[in-house]
Amino acid sequence: MTMKSKGNRENTKGRLMMFGARFVVYFILIFLSVLCLFSFYMMLVNSSRSNFELQAGFTPWFSTHFFENLSNAWNDASINIPRGMLNSFLIAACCAILTTYFSALTAYGVHVYDFKLKKFAFYFIMAVMMIPPQVSAVGFIQLCYDLKLTNNYIPLIVPSIAAPVVFFYMKQYLESVLPMEIVEAARIDGSGEFRTFNQIILPIMKPAIAVQMIFAFVASWNNYFIPSLILDKADLKTVPIMVAQLRSADYSKFDMGKVYMFILLAILPVIVVYVILSRAIIRGATAGAVKG
Tens place of pLDDT per residue across the chain (292 aa): 455 555 566 666 667 677 777 888 888 989 988 888 888 888 888 888 888 888 777 788 888 888 888 888 888 777 888 888 899 999 999 999 999 999 999 998 888 888 888 888 888 888 888 887 777 888 888 888 888 888 889 999 998 888 888 988 898 888 888 888 888 888 888 888 888 888 888 888 888 888 888 889 988 998 888 888 898 888 888 988 888 877 666 555 667 888 888 888 888 888 888 888 777 666 554 444 334 4
Q: Same domain, yes or no, for 218 and 108?
A: yes
Q: Same domain, yes or no, for 251 and 111?
A: yes
Q: How far apart are the first and last CA of the chain?
A: 44
Alpha-carbon gap, residue 70 to 89, rounded angstroms: 20
What three-state secondary structure class fits 146? helix
Cβ atoms < 10 Å from Cβ of 90: 14
Q: Same domain, yes or no, for 130 and 218?
A: yes
Alpha-carbon gap, residue 68 to 278, rounded angstroms: 33
Cβ atoms < 10 Å from Cβ of 73: 23
pTM summary value: 0.81
Q: Same domain, yes or no, for 114 and 247?
A: yes
Q: Same domain, yes or no, for 250 and 265?
A: yes
Q: Same domain, yes or no, for 146 and 235?
A: yes
Q: Same domain, yes or no, for 152 and 182?
A: yes
Q: Same domain, yes or no, for 98 and 160?
A: yes
Q: Same domain, yes or no, for 45 and 144?
A: no
Residues 98, 161: contact at Cβ < 8 Å?
yes
As a residue count, the chain comes to 292
Q: Same domain, yes or no, for 14 and 100?
A: no
pLDDT score of 266: 85
Q: Same domain, yes or no, for 51 and 161?
A: no
Domain assignment of residue 90, given as a range: 69-291
